[in-house]
Structure 1
Amino acid sequence: MFFKSLLLASFAATALSAPLSFLKRANPCFVTGSVALPAEVSSGLGALSAVTCNAKLQVAPGVPDIVSGGIAYSTIDFQKSSASPLGFALATFKTPTDPATADLATLQNQLNDYLALEAGVRSQPGTSALLAKLKGPKFFLQFQIARVQTANGVTLDVADTVDHQLTKVTNNAVGASASEIAQVTALAKQV
């Protein structure tokens, strides 16, 4: 009788655990930590499915180098610059005088790197200082994409508009100078 009960319990445990294993989602290669991601970040992970990782290089505590569209995060890493995060973004993520002629795919791949880095950093404990700094370049890339789309006549949701993105950039401009803020504000008028 004991053996039958043990056998039934074993089958029941196996049967119950099988469907649950299908429900568990594997984290993307850049989400390596144990901290739960906020809904706003985790909901965007599907859009980053083409992002890959280079585990041979770490770009933030516990986060491997991230690659989107052939652009490695390590090649556009604001942490390597002595400039403020916004100053780095202004120098690195430029658009032509006419934003309609900008390479939107490149900007999107650069943004994908920063979005993936943000998710990776958020998954690690004790990274709030780094997170605060990386938001400047991330929001600046979103701002540049909004400028390019607006210049190309794309109708954007309110949260994606140049003005909304400008507010995000200026609110997250850790260590930025008045001159850097003025440069971004001037860019907002060039659409």
Structure 2
Amino acid sequence: MLANFIILSLAATALSAPLSFFRRANPCFVTGSVALPAEVAEGLPALEAAPVTCNSNIQVAPGVPDIYSGGIEYSTIDFQKSSLSPVGFALATFKTPSNPETADLDTLQNQLNDYLALEAGVRSQPGSSALLDELKGPKFFLQFQIARVQTAQGVTLDDADTVSHQLEKVLANAVGATASEIAQVNALAKQV
């Protein structure tokens, strides 16, 4: 009888522990208190496994430290430092050879990892919607470039990962892009 009481007492104590006790800590780039959308949260384990790391001595967005993936620092590919539109910056920075099949897919993926981690970090901060709207242009452009490279390499892609689908995302998130920049993105979509 005493043994049953002890077991029930221990179980009640465990069940009354706060949920945060059972959750693992956020990645170094998720520093805010705002809950992440499911699709962003689901990508966190892959970013941690990449691995994406942080330098807390440098802040690249309010509350978000500098981010590193594959030796590429986000601060070296930060669209906010450019006078171009976010998509214009992406066109100038995240280039592929004329034959996308020969592009360095690892570099593009590490650059995308930096942007995905930045997005998670920014989303975790309250009042960050303006920056979030702007960073989607370069993020989707990187996804678009990866789709172009994979298509050129003969990889079969899911519908959500195709060049045409990623093109739509870039164009829908081309904040402040010029007609010339949009034309350049459309031209790249035909080079696969």
Superposition TM-score, scaled by structure 1 size: 0.91
Task: Tell me: CA distance 1:52–1:17, structure 2 relative to 1, closer, same or farther (3 Å).
Answer: farther
Task: Tell me: CA distance 1:156–1:178, structure 2 relative to 1, closer, same or farther (3 Å).
Answer: same
2:86 maps to what in 1?
85
Matched, 1:48 2:47: yes
Structure 1 letter corresponding to 2:80:
Q
1:160 maps to what in 2?
161
Deviation at residue 18 of structure 1 after TM alignment: 6.5
1:33 maps to what in 2?
32
Give ranges in structure 2 of 5+ residues lacking alignment: 1-6
Structure 2 letter corresponding to 1:162:
V
Structure 2 letter corresponding to 1:179:
S
Matches within 5 A, 1:171-190: 171-190=172-191
2:146 maps to what in 1?
145
Looking at structure 1, the residues matched to 130 and 67 of structure 2 have their Cα atoms a distance apart, in angstroms, of: 20
2:71 maps to what in 1?
70
Superposed CA RMSD: 2.0
1:127 maps to what in 2?
128
Looking at structure 2, the residues matched to 18 and 105 of structure 1 have their Cα atoms a distance apart, in angstroms, of: 43
2:137 maps to what in 1?
136
Looking at structure 2, the residues matched to 168 and 20 of structure 1 have their Cα atoms a distance apart, in angstroms, of: 36
Looking at structure 1, the residues matched to 32 and 55 of structure 2 have their Cα atoms a distance apart, in angstroms, of: 16
Deviation at residue 21 of structure 1 after TM alignment: 6.0
Looking at structure 1, the residues matched to 25 and 33 of structure 2 have their Cα atoms a distance apart, in angstroms, of: 13
SS at match of 2:157: coil
Q: What are the Cα deviations for residues 136-181 of structure 1, in whole angstroms up to 9, with x where unaligned? A: 0000000000000000000000000000000000000000001000
Identical residues among aligned pairs (%): 83
